[in-house]
Amino acid sequence: MGIEVKIADEFWTPRIEKICREIIPYQYEVLNDTVPGIEHSHAIENFRIAAGDSDGKYQGMLFQDSDVAKWIEAAAWSLRLYPDREIEKKIDDLIDLMERAQREDGYLDTYYICTGLEKRFTNFSHGHELYCAGHLTEAAVAYALATGKEKMLHLMERYVGYLIEQIGPEEEKMHVFSGHPEIELALYKLYQYTNDIKYYDFMVYLITERGKQPSFLLREKNFGERYKDKWFDLRYHQAHTPVWEQTNAVGHCVRAMYLYSAMADIAKETNNHGMRETLQYLWDDVVTRKMYITGAIGSEAHGECFGTDYDLPNDRAYAETCASIGLIFWARRMLQLEKNSSYADVMELALYNGAISGISEEGKQYFYVNPLELRPEEAEERYDMQHVRVQREAWMGCACCPPNIARLMASLDQYISMWDDKDKKLYINLFIGGEILFDDGKAGLVIQSSYLKDGKVRLRYKGRRRKFSLCIRIPGWADSCTLSVNGKQIEEPGAEKGYVYLEREFQEQDYIDVKFSLRLRKVYANPRVSADAGKAALMRGPVVYCLEEADNGKNLSGISIGELTGVDEFIDNSLPGNAIAVSFDGCREQESMWDGRLYSYTRAPREGVRIKAIPYYLWGNRGTGEMKIWINEYLV
Q: Which of 65, 73, 209, 300 binds its own copies (CB under 8 A)?
A: 300
Q: Which of 101, 136, 287, 335 binds its own copies (CB under 8 A)?
A: 287
**Separation CA 367–CA 616 (nearest Å):** 13
User: Rounded to 5 degrees, what angle do the CA atoms 202, 245, 289 make?
Assistant: 115
Q: Which of 108, 291, 443, 611 binds its own copies (CB under 8 A)?
A: 291
Query: Is 514 in contact with 481 (CB distance < 8 Å)?
Result: yes
**CA 487, chain centre distance (Å):** 37
Minimum CB distance to its own copies, residue 628 (Å):
8
Q: Does 197 bind its own copies (CB under 8 A)?
A: no
253 in catalytic set? no
Query: Is 304 in contact with 254 (CB distance < 8 Å)?
Result: yes
Catalytic hit among 132, 400, 401, 471: 400
Query: Is 332 in contact with 418 (CB distance < 8 Å)?
Result: no
Q: Does 307 bind its own copies (CB under 8 A)?
A: yes
**Separation CA 567–CA 74 (nearest Å):** 40
Residue 58 DSSP class: -
Q: Is-cis flag, bond preceding 605, omega within 30?
A: no
Minimum CB distance to its own copies, residue 373 (Å):
8
Minimum CB distance to its own copies, residue 326 (Å):
18
Q: Does 527 bind its own copies (CB under 8 A)?
A: yes
Q: Which stretch binds its own copies (CB under 8 A): 259-267, 455-463, 574-582, 602-610?
A: 602-610
Which CB sits closer to its own copies, 272 or 288?
A: 288
Full DSSP string of 240-253: SS-GGG--S--SBH
User: Rounded to 5 degrees, what angle do the CA atoms 368, 370, 376 make?
Assistant: 105
104 in catalytic set? no
Q: Does 308 bind its own copies (CB under 8 A)?
A: yes
Catalytic hit among 45, 73, 300, 304: 304
Q: Does 378 bind its own copies (CB under 8 A)?
A: yes
Which CB sits closer to its own copies, 291 or 581?
A: 291
- Single-letter code of the amino acid located at 513: D
Q: Which of 119, 173, 175, 302 binds its own copies (CB under 8 A)?
A: 302
**Separation CA 324–CA 317 (nearest Å):** 13
Q: Which stretch binds its own copies (CB under 8 A): 148-156, 460-468, 507-515, 626-634?
A: 626-634
Q: Which of 151, 504, 522, 622 binds its own copies (CB under 8 A)?
A: 522
Minimum CB distance to its own copies, residue 303 (Å):
7
Query: Is 127 in contact with 182 (CB distance < 8 Å)?
Result: no
Task: Give every CB contact of residue 182 below 8 A, 6+ residues apart in sequence.
Answer: 66, 130, 131, 134, 135, 258
Which CB sits closer to its own copies, 229 or 362?
A: 229
Contact map string, positions 216 to 245, toward its own copies, x by CB under 8 A: --------------x---------------
Minimum CB distance to its own copies, residue 428 (Å):
23
Q: Does 603 bind its own copies (CB under 8 A)?
A: yes
**Separation CA 407–CA 332 (nearest Å):** 15
**Among residue numbers 52 through 81, which ones bind its own copies (CB under 8 A)?**
none
Q: Does 490 bind its own copies (CB under 8 A)?
A: no
Q: Which stretch binds its own copies (CB under 8 A): 40-48, 303-311, 414-422, 507-515?
A: 303-311
Task: Give every CB contact of residue 232 below 8 A, 6+ residues apart in sequence.
Answer: 125, 222, 223, 225, 226
Q: Does 524 bind its own copies (CB under 8 A)?
A: yes
Q: Does 252 bind its own copies (CB under 8 A)?
A: no
**Separation CA 139–CA 152 (nearest Å):** 8
Contact map string, positions 580 to 599, toward its own copies, x by CB under 8 A: ---------x-x--x-xxxx
**Separation CA 402–CA 320 (nearest Å):** 11
**Separation CA 501–CA 471 (nearest Å):** 4
Query: Residue 418's closest CA among 533, 503, 524, 336?
Result: 336
Minimum CB distance to its own copies, residue 456 (Å):
21
Q: Which of 173, 382, 424, 464 binds its own copies (CB under 8 A)?
A: 382
**Separation CA 507–CA 467 (nearest Å):** 9
State phi, psi for 62 to the nearest 5 degrees.
-75, -5
Minimum CB distance to its own copies, residue 621 (Å):
23
Minimum CB distance to its own copies, residue 247 (Å):
14
Q: Which stretch binds its own copies (CB under 8 A): 126-134, 182-190, 446-454, 528-536?
A: 528-536
Q: Does 381 bind its own copies (CB under 8 A)?
A: yes
Query: Residue 267's closest CA among 204, 206, 192, 210?
Result: 204
Q: Does 555 bind its own copies (CB under 8 A)?
A: yes
Q: How far is CA 611 from CA 523, 538, 547, 594, 617, in A?
A: 17, 12, 8, 22, 18
Contacting positions for its own copies (CB under 8 A): 230, 284, 287-289, 291, 293, 300-303, 307-309, 311, 315-316, 373, 375, 377-378, 381-384, 479, 521-530, 533-537, 555-558, 560, 562, 589, 591, 594, 596-604, 632-636
Catalytic residue annotation: 304, 400
